[in-house]
């Protein structure tokens, strides 16, 4: 008897969204057992053995975490012997066979097909369902899901196929009512003479619900300020010239410097590097300096997390920001990539604007908004000089942070950004 537990997925809970097997059902290796979902990540958990399901320990909608037992499978002695022998061979040899190489190529091709499919369709479905739809040449956008939160299930695809075989013309005409319109980037993509309905994808719905909850439950206060980054800009240019000679993929922006300065401020003002517990009305101070950075993608907004920023150089931070942004836009983020932040940055510097009110990412207590830098005439020693100014917007939870503490925190960040030599001191 083999008891399956949830693999390592981080510290946060995930929700069971699909159970693909039934009690007494025979299963084989690589067959999907359950699908779990958490923080915009959907994961299929497969079987590794051949056997019979004896007990299902979870139910749809249940919250579970790493190490939670979820199924028991009875395996025969031959299967157990093969599994043990296979494990011994893998430990001794660890050599990739030709068949494994071919299998991996097939999986990579399948993953590529899935990614291509997802670019064209934002329907809510598990990887297993998407694979089935691809094999049957079915567009998920034409199917109305009957699962939790509108998920498309295997049964929905079967009903669709049956309806297409029975009366394809009638079914297709009905399916037009359920077309999933992609979010248009400009009005030119829509026929403005007709009304269109846009259904939010699951990432957007998750963000909508979270933002609504955070805005209604947290007493927000936003402090606005400006940082003189003229000298920082010169350092950035010099560093970029030297760095780009060695690394063509990465570029140095203001963000790594801001992250480093923010980390110094979090050390000096530890309340901002904490999370608020509603259940116990207490503040939990974090030892690690893990900062989330909001990244925009076709699917919606994600917040990948840079871990242990205090232990990394400006160059290391620049590389990690680039890699996490690329993983986000290629939909390769892992659950661990979006967990564990204690503070968040929302960077609109590449878009424009001046000040704005970023919404605190609960259970964190603060978020720093960055806008586009601009030239401003400043009087210095009786002279009017052009200085490069960076607008900063700090939103915070007023239950935890008072105004004086917040202003001192923001002034400290400005102090470092205006004199980057201080980064070597703090």
Residue for token pair 């749809």 = 60
Please report which residue ranges of 218-305 form alpha helices under DSSP H. 230-246, 254-268
Dist. CA 213–CA 196, nearest whole Å: 28
Beta bridge partners of 285: 274
Q: Which two tokens stand for residue 119?
A: 């670019």
Tell how far CA 121 is from the center of its chain. Answer: 18
Dist. CA 367–CA 223, nearest whole Å: 11
Dist. CA 48–CA 27, nearest whole Å: 9
Residues in the chain: 426
Rg (CA), the chain: 26
From the CB of residue 34, how many other CB atoms can be counted at a distance below 10 Å?
Answer: 23
Angstrom distances, CA of residue 387 to CA of 1, 414, 420, 421: 71, 14, 16, 18
Q: Does residue 252 contact residue 236 with C-beta atoms inside 8 Å?
A: yes
Any residues with CB less than 8 A from the CB of 338 and at least 6 apart, and which?
39, 40, 41, 292, 302, 303, 304, 305
Dist. CA 273–CA 19, nearest whole Å: 39
Residue for token pair 């299902």 = 56
Dist. CA 232–CA 257, nearest whole Å: 8
Q: Does residue 141 contact residue 115 with C-beta atoms inside 8 Å?
A: no
Q: Which two tokens stand for residue 149?
A: 């939160």
From the CB of residue 41, how many other CB atoms can be counted at a distance below 10 Å?
Answer: 20
Q: Does residue 221 contact residue 396 with C-beta atoms inside 8 Å?
A: yes
From the list 412, 239, 411, 391, the residue with the least C-alpha distance to 317 is 239
Angstrom distances, CA of residue 1 to CA of 52, 58, 83, 85: 9, 17, 13, 17
Q: Would residue 196 show up in a list of annotated catalytic residues for this protein?
A: no
Catalytic residues: 398
């Amino acid at each position: 008897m083999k008891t399956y537990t949830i693999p390592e997925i981080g510290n946060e809970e995930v929700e069971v969204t699909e159970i693909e097997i039934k009690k007494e059902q025979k299963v084989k290796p690589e067959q999907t057992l359950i699908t779990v979902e958490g923080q915009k990540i959907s994961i299929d958990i497969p079987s590794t053995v051949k056997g019979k399901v004896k007990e299902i320990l979870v139910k749809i909608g249940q919250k579970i975490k790493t190490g939670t037992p979820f199924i028991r499978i009875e395996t025969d002695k031959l299967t157990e012997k093969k599994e043990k022998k296979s494990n011994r061979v893998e430990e001794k040899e660890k050599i990739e066979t030709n068949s494994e190489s071919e299998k991996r190529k097939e999986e990579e091709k399948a993953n590529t097909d899935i990614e291509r499919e997802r670019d064209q369709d934002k329907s809510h479905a598990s990887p297993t369902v998407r694979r089935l739809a691809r094999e049957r040449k079915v567009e998920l956008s034409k199917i109305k899901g009957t699962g939790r939160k509108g998920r498309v299930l295997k049964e929905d695809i079967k009903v669709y196929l049956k309806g297409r075989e029975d009366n394809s013309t009638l079914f297709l005409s009905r399916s037009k009512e359920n077309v999933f319109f992609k979010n248009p980037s400009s009005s030119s993509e829509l026929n403005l003479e007709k009304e269109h309905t846009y259904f939010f994808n699951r990432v957007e719905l998750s963000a909508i619900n979270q933002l609504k909850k955070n805005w209604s439950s947290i007493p927000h206060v936003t402090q606005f300020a400006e940082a003189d980054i003229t000298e920082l800009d010169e350092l950035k240019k010099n560093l970029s010239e030297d760095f780009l000679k060695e690394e063509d993929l990465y570029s140095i922006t203001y963000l790594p410097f801001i992250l480093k300065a923010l980390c110094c401020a979090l050390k000096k003002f530890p309340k901002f590097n904490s999370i608020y517990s509603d259940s116990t009305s207490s503040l939990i101070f974090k030892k690690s300096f893990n900062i989330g950075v909001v990244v925009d993608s076709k699917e919606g907004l994600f917040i990948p997390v840079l871990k242990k920023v205090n232990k990394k150089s400006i160059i290391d931070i620049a590389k990690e920001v680039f890699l996490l942004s690329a993983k986000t836009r290629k939909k390769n983020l892992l659950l661990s990539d979006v967990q564990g932040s204690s503070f968040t940055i929302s960077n609109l510097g590449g878009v424009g604007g001046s000040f704005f009110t970023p919404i605190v990412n609960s259970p964190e207590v603060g978020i720093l908004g960055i806008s586009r830098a601009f030239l401003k005439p400043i009087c210095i020693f009786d002279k009017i000089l052009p200085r490069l100014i960076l607008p900063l917007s700090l939103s915070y939870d007023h239950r935890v942070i008072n105004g004086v503490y917040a202003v001192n925190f923001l002034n400290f960040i400005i102090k470092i950004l205006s004199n980057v030599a201080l980064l070597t001191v703090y």
